[in-house]
Amino acid sequence: MKSIHGGNIVSVARTLGCNTADLLDLSSNLTPFGMAPGLKEMLISNLEQISFLPEAGSETLCRVFAEKYGLQPDEVLAGNGTTEFIFALPTAFHTKKALLVNPTYSDYQVACSWAGVDSEDFFLTREEGFQLNFERLATRLTGGELVFICNPNNPTSVLIPTARLHDFIRQQPKSIFIVDESYLPFTSEPSLLDLDLPENLFLLCSSSKIYGIPGLRLGFLVARKKNLARFSDRNKPWGVNSMAQIGGEFLLQNADPYVHEVRSYIAEQRPKVIQALMQLPQVEVIEGAANFILCYLGGRMRAPELAEKMLQKRIMIRNCDSFTGLDDRYFRISLKDEAGNRRCLEALKQIMGDNL
């Protein structure tokens, strides 16, 4: 089983024979404003640090994260993106079963398969607006399984109220919940970090999307101390490079105003873009909350063809036919700056108009 992702802008540019700067990438879900301000200068002025070993366990960075969110330092681990933990978690438990709330981020399934963990699908449906039905989910839990929940969910963008999720996790103490909040900072919903940590929760917090640093590779895993011990004992040394440690510390201490700016921009742009998408004759929009929008094509055209036609206009969108539980009628776009959103909407309008 292989990982499939959007945002492979370098290889797309190579195939099209253009520069990455010529492409408008709406296929990955990064902040529309690029890297958080001040970070570049901070990294450049610390470049000489790569001549030394970074802290083996990112202790300073974990302490800064813990202080910011009112945790103990031994309740936090830093890794090479949350991807490191997505792949480490299924190998760390004796349990050999997992439940995936699909459609969702496909690496959960890949990670389970690589670890020899049997994963079952719990399907969300378009008829239910891809909302998580907790009663139905409860009937599928037998105890001991890993349950992956992405909130808000990629690719649907659907948000679960944090308090409701927190209650559910506590009501199911025999299951182990892995909650991925990679896209939560784009919404105004509080994080599970703001509530007490249930014993059976592992929380993933990515720095890639909200701070615009997917290439720096930094993510955090938060859990109760005794749960994290199984990882910290085996955590490989120097898993987070010096630049990511320095940059991460800087962002945690300085980037809140930037995060708020991104959040208000998304709250303002989302309804505008959705309204424009709904004017398109064949498009149904799935109601969500994050910095990306899932759409359903009700007409003749399918997502692979649409993605190809958009690419001819140097615009990358995500054909969602590789997500378990979706098919070739679904595509996803992320929100960009206003000019980018306009360019995408105009291209969609033109392509769909030509194919009526």
Ligand X SMILES: Cc1ncc(COP(=O)(O)O)c(C=O)c1O
The binding site for ligand X (CB under 6 A) comprises 5, 81-83, 105, 150, 154, 180, 182, 206, 208, 214, 219
Q: Which is nearer to ligand X, 43 or 150 (CB)?
A: 150
For the bound state, the minimum distance from the C-beta of residue 353 to ligand X, rounded and expressed in Å, comes to 32
159: alpha, beta or left? (left if phi > 0; alpha if psi -120 to 50): beta
What is the number of the residue whose Cβ is closest to ligand X? 81
Q: Which is nearer to ligand X, 130 or 280 (CB)?
A: 130
Of residues 88 and 246, the one with the C-beta less far from ligand X:
88
Considering the complex, state which of residue 58 and residue 82 has its C-beta at the smaller distance from ligand X: 82
In the 8-state DSSP scheme, what is residue 184?
G
By C-beta, is 110 or 283 nearer to ligand X? 110
**Residue closest to 61 by CA, chosen among 195, 194, 183, 241:** 241
Give me the least distance between CB of 38 and ligand X, in Å please.
21
Least Å distance, CB 226 to ligand X, is 24
User: Edge-to-edge, what's the strand order for the sheet holding 201-206?
Assistant: 76-79, 219-222, 201-206, 176-180, 146-150, 97-102, 118-123
Distance in Å, CB of 5 to ligand X, minimum: 6
Angle, helices 59-69/242-254, rounded to nearest 10 degrees: 20
Q: How far is the CB of 255 from ligand X (least distance, A)?
A: 16
Closest by CA to 205, choosing from 252, 241, 145, 167, is 252
Q: Which of 25, 180 has the CB closer to ligand X?
A: 180
- Cβ of residue 215: shortest distance to ligand X, in angstroms? 9
What token pair was written down for 245? 């440690």
DSSP letter, residue 53? P
d(CA 303, CA 305): 5
Q: Of 105 and 330, which CB lies nearer to ligand X in the complex structure?
A: 105
Q: Provide the minimum distance between the beta carbon of 14 and ligand X in the complex, in angstroms, as a whole number.
A: 21
| Share in percent of the chain as helix, strand, coil (round to 5) | 45, 15, 40
Chain-centre distance for alpha carbon 105: 8
